[in-house]
């Protein structure tokens, strides 16, 4: 069985890593395409190194651009690759522009599409990722889901239940596989931090960082928090650009207990999260990772597509207003969380996916198979 696997942006790399490993251990010819949506060393290469992901067989080198431009360029460059490679299936992960772009090309060439991390819904169509998720799921032949809400969402959207498999979370496969190694990172010493006495912050969503009023409000909450709890802020390139453009970086610079760093590699960031008192973020994946680590998470968004992290995990969705962020922070200090690890988040999701794919392929190859 030949599978063409697609990755493109930072959150894809920790999802593709355990899949490539599971495929390598089975009679599966797994080829890897990097679209080049993320291209900086610290947004891309660092993850291939830390996670021992095989070098991509093909790099489409699309780079940055508007959504339409980026999506179109990925499609244009992926089509000849697919015609040449002729795989039995194309596998896409997550919800980034590379996911929908390559998915569309595959189905138009009538090559079966496999979506890993299907079914998540924020019900907020102003999020580009929500559009990518809805569309990718609508055209996929096999949908691998991380949490029960995803299965319910797909049923409600009329997806054939035979295509849907609740398998757990490949991002958590990567976390569990690298926890011990991450313990050896010296990031705490480098940043002069004491375990459980600091917080970590990440921000990159357009809804938070493109509007100076929203970003300014978040900074007001941070000014308050860092007086009590030192904060580390690895800054996403989009956020860095906006902070500089709007002059808000000067305000950050005045916070004496907040350290700004470049985006960190996987192992350093995992160590930083696992020893933190609190994590503040607008990322999707970090809500899941903190749930498994048992570290309190404040999600600076109006909603989440990952409700299991709130129902069972450590996540509080607090929104973007300074008062609500501070109220969430105080609940954390008061010992608010009682985490449980969601079902099937056990480090074996990629293996389940690989086995299901082999059975599916065997069924199709039999005479009369679908
Ligand atoms: C993308 C994903 C988002 C994911 C995030 C993680 C979509 C719609 N969004 O958002 O779901 O959570 O990745 O980072 O696909 N840039 C660099 N170097 C890079 C990559 C980006 O400098 O290696 C800068 C560019 O100025 C670019 C901007 O970051 O314009 C945004 O990059 P882009 O890939 O368009 O989206 P993200 O905001 O990273």
Burial (Cβ within 10 Å: 0-12, 13-18, ≥19) of residue 231? buried
Task: Write down the pLDDT at residue 368.
Answer: 72
Give the mean pLDDT of 14-36.
98
Q: How far is the CA of 97 from the centre of ligand 1 (A)?
A: 9
Q: How far is 34 from 57, CA to CA, in rounded Å?
A: 8
pLDDT of the residue at 337: 67
Which pLDDT score is estimated for 369?
Answer: 64
Cα gap 99→81, rounded to integer Å: 15
pLDDT, tens only, 167-179: 999 999 999 999 9
Report how far residue 99's alpha carbon sits from residue 104's, in angstroms, rounded to the nearest whole number.
9
Report whether 188 contacts 267 (CB < 8 A). no
**Residue ranges of the chain that CATH labels 3.40.50.2000:** 2-168+345-365, 179-333
Atom of ligand 1 minimally distant from the CA of 39: 23
Catalytic residue chosen out of the listed positions 115, 204, 236, 361: 204
- pLDDT value at residue 57: 98
Q: Which band of pLDDT confidence, cut at 50, 70 and 90, is reported for residue 366?
A: confident
Give the C-alpha separation, 343 to 345, whole Å: 6
Mutational pocket test of ligand 1: of 35, 43, 47, 64, the residue with most ligand atoms within 8 Å of the beta carbon = 64
Write phi, then psi, for 9 (nearest 5 degrees): -125, 165
Atom of ligand 1 nearest to the CA of 70: 35
Determine which helix (DSSP H) or strand (DSSP E) holds 233, and give its type and residue range. Answer: strand 231-234
The partner residues of 232 in beta bridges, in order of sequence, read 200, 259
Task: Give the Å distances, CA to CA, from 159 to 33, 134, 147.
Answer: 27, 11, 16
Q: Which of 71, 238, 287 to mutate to test the pocket of ligand 1 (most atoms within 8 A of CB)?
A: 238
336 versus 281: which is more confidently predicted? Answer: 281
List pLDDT tens digits, range 116-167: 999 999 999 999 999 999 999 999 999 999 999 999 999 999 999 999 999 9
* Percent of the chain clearing pLDDT 90 (strictly above): 97
Percent of the residues in the chain that have a pLDDT greater than 70, as a whole number? 99
End-to-end CA distance of the chain: 16
Residues 88 and 2: beta-carbon distance below 8 Å: yes
336 pLDDT band, cuts 50/70/90, is: low
Which CATH class, in words, describes the domain spanning 2-168+345-365? alpha beta
Bridge partner list, 6: 33
To the question of pTM greater than 0.75 for the whole model, the response is yes
Q: Which helix (H) or strand (E) holds 98?
A: helix 97-108
Predicted confidence band at 370 (pLDDT cuts at 50, 70, 90)? low
Whole-number Å distance between alpha carbons of 175 and 287 = 13
Q: How far is the CA of 201 from the centre of ligand 1 (A)?
A: 17
Q: Which of 217, 337, 346 is nearest to 277 (CA)?
A: 337
pLDDT of residue 251: 95
Distance 64 CA to ligand 1 centre (A): 7
13 alpha carbon to ligand 1 midpoint, in Å? 13
Residue 361 annotated among the catalytic residues of the structure: no
Dihedral angle over CA of 314, 221, 10, 186, nearest 10 = -80
Strand (E) or helix (H) holding 289: helix 285-293
227-267 pLDDT, tens digit per residue, is 999 999 999 999 999 999 999 999 999 999 999 999 999 99
Compute the mean pLDDT over every residue in the chain, rounded to the nearest whole number. Answer: 97
Using CA positions, which residue lies closest to atom 7 of ligand 1?
Answer: 96
pLDDT of amino acid 288: 98
pLDDT for residue 339: 84
The answer to whether the beta carbons of residues 296 and 195 sit under 8 Å apart is no
Q: Let me know if domain 179-333 sits in CATH 3.40.50.2000.
A: yes
């Amino acid at each position: 069985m030949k599978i063409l696997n697609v990755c493109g942006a930072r959150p894809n790399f920790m999802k593709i890593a355990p899949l490539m490993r599971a495929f390598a251990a089975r009679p599966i010819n797994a080829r890897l395409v990097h679209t080049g949506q993320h291209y900086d060393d610290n947004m891309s290469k660092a993850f291939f190194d830390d996670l021992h992901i095989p070098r991509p067989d093909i790099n489409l080198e699309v780079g940055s651009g508007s959504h339409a431009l980026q999506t179109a360029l990925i499609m244009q460059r992926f089509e000849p690759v697919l015609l040449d490679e002729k795989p039995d299936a194309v596998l896409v992960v997550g919800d980034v522009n590379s996911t929908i772009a390559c998915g569309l090309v595959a189905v138009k060439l009538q090559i079966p599409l496999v979506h890993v991390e299907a079914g998540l819904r924020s019900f907020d169509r102003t999020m580009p990722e929500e559009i990518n998720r809805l569309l990718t799921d609508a055209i996929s032949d096999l949908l691998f889901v991380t949490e029960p809400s995803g299965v319910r969402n797909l049923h409600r959207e009329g997806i054939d239940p035979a295509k849907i498999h609740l398998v757990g979370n490949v991002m958590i496969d990567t976390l569990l596989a690298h926890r011990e190694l991450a313990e050896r990172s010296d990031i705490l010493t480098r940043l002069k931090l004491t375990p459980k006495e600091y917080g970590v912050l990440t921000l990159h969503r357009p809804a938070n960082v493109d509007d100076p009023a929203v970003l300014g409000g978040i900074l007001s909450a941070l000014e308050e928090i860092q007086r009590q709890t030192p904060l580390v802020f690895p800054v996403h390139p989009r956020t860095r650009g906006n902070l500089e453009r709007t002059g808000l970086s000067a305000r950050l610079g005045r916070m004496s207990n907040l350290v700004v760093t470049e985006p960190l590699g996987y192992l350093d960031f995992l160590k930083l999260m696992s020893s933190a008192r609190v994590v503040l973020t607008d990322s999707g994946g970090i809500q899941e990772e903190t749930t498994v680590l048992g570290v309190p998470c404040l999600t600076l968004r109006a909603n989440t597509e990952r409700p299991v992290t709130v129902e069972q995990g450590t996540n509080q969705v607090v929104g973007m207003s300074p008062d609500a962020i501070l109220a969430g922070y105080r609940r954390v200090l008061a010992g608010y969380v009682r985490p449980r690890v969601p079902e099937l988040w056990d480090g074996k999701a990629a293996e389940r996916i690989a086995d299901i794919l082999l059975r599916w392929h065997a069924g199709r190859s039999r005479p009369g198979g679908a």
